[in-house]
Structure 1
Amino acid sequence: MITLTGSELRLLQQGLCERRRELLATLHGEYGDLAGARPPEELGPESP
């Protein structure tokens, strides 16, 4: 098992948060091209 230090965990978390922002921006750009569409995170949970 690999054990990470507190500073390593913070760096990993920062990297993951940045990647999430990049991916959400990409999705927003893709959906922004569609008239009246919103990205999935703004639509809320799917209805059955």
Structure 2
Amino acid sequence: MAKKTVVVTTAQRAAAKALVERDAARGRSTPDAIRRIAEAQPVRTA
């Protein structure tokens, strides 16, 4: 299976970082936050 490159914009990265930090403050695990962000964002593949 070919490996796909996920294109993440700077805005998405900033939003993701904020979400991860907010979740960490609530005691949530980072992988959980990353998974939710991945599901919420339309993903472009290159």
Q: What TM-score do you get using the length of structure 1 for normalisation?
A: 0.46
Larger RCO, structure (CA 8 Å, separation 6 or more) = 2
Q: Which has the larger radius of gyration?
A: 1
With normalisation by structure 2, the TM-score equals 0.48
Return the structure number with greater helix share.
Answer: 1
Higher normalized strand content (fraction of residues): 2
